[in-house]
């Protein structure tokens, strides 16, 4: 991805510097984890985030390119554990572990409570 103003710590409210924000970098690594197993999932299955352990090691400026990769390290029942890393042209930007759980999409969505933020409403502004 190319870092835009919307990807910065300022825009994400996770800091006050105009560089790639940690939440966006973690999301990029989760995207890589999803892509790593997407073709192996059965019809109606998806994965949902369960746990993230991540170290953001160096800044990437607006306009800079960054890429992420994920390697499936362990399968424990429905839980998948990935090693993830992200790089920009200067080198390693971040690394860690992401755990995701395989779920039936419809059954998972049936558990969403009406009126919760995950049901499509926006969280209150701070």
Q: What is the DSSP letter of 113?
A: P
Given 8, 30, 47, 60, the catalytic residue: 30
Which of helix, strand or coil describes residue 7? helix
Alpha-carbon span 34 to 93, nearest angstrom: 20
Of the residues 8, 47, 56, 60, only one is catalytic, namely 56
56 has catalytic annotation? yes
Structure tokens that stand for 40 in this block = 């192996």
Active site includes 43? no
51 membership: H or E segment, kind and range: strand 45-56
> Active-site residues: which are they?
22, 30, 56
């Amino acid at each position: 991805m190319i870092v835009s103003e919307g990807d910065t710590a300022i825009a994400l409210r996770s800091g006050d510097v105009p560089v790639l924000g940690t939440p966006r970098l973690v999301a990029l690594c989760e995207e890589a984890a999803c892509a790593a197993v997407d073709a192996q999932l059965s019809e109606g299955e998806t994965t949902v985030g369960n746990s993230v352990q991540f170290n953001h090691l160096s800044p990437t400026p607006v306009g800079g390119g960054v890429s992420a990769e994920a390697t499936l390290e362990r399968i424990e029942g429905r839980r998948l554990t990935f090693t993830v890393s992200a790089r920009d042209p200067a080198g390693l930007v971040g690394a860690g572990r992401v755990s995701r759980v395989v779920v039936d999409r419809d059954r998972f969505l049936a558990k969403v409570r009406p009126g919760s933020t995950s049901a499509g409403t926006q969280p209150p502004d701070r």
